[in-house]
Amino acid sequence: SEGKTRMAMYKKSLHINSSGSASEQREKIKQFAQQEDKRQKAERVQQQQKHEMQMKEMLAQCESNMNELQQLQNEKCHLLVEHETQKLKALDENYNLTLKDWRDKLRPRKKALEDELNQKKREQEMFFKLSEETDGLSPMSPNKPAK
């Protein structure tokens, strides 16, 4: 439409100036049309090149963005692995400390239980000794000779 507008303006300009014959005006209009076609074609080529350049720049920017995002993701993954490794190490250390503490307390607990059981055993032995002695002194005792 821009070309048609320019052509209409050129024709009006020729008509106003009206220099030369009708055939000369037709020739000038023909030359103007050819020049206008060349100008429009050059403009289209320039626009096409501009768009191609913009497309290349955008693709390069996208590639750069993707590389940056990939690098960030790799760094975050590395940090995550490092953090998880530290957590596992802390849990392992905690487990080892708990196990050591349990083992350290195991012997005193065993000794205390053995002492307690030995005490109960002595108490039972004493109880049964006393019980046997009192049974032996009773008048119904079969082991005791009658008088």
What pLDDT does 143 receive? 54
Average pLDDT, the chain: 88
> Token pair for residue 99?
């196990």
Confidence tier at 138 by pLDDT (50, 70, 90): low
Q: Alpha helices of the chain — where are they, by DSSP H?
A: 2-17, 22-137
The least confident of 18-22, 31-35, 110-114 is: 18-22
C-beta separation of 40 from 3 below 8 A: yes
**Domain ranges within the chain, ordered by starting residue:** 2-128
Query: Going by C-beta distance under 8 Å and a sequence separation of 6 or more, which residues neighbour residue 25?
Result: 14, 18
What pLDDT does 22 receive? 78
Confidence tier at 147 by pLDDT (50, 70, 90): very low
What is the C-alpha to C-alpha distance for residues 104 and 132, in angstroms, rounded to an integer?
43
What pLDDT does 24 receive? 82
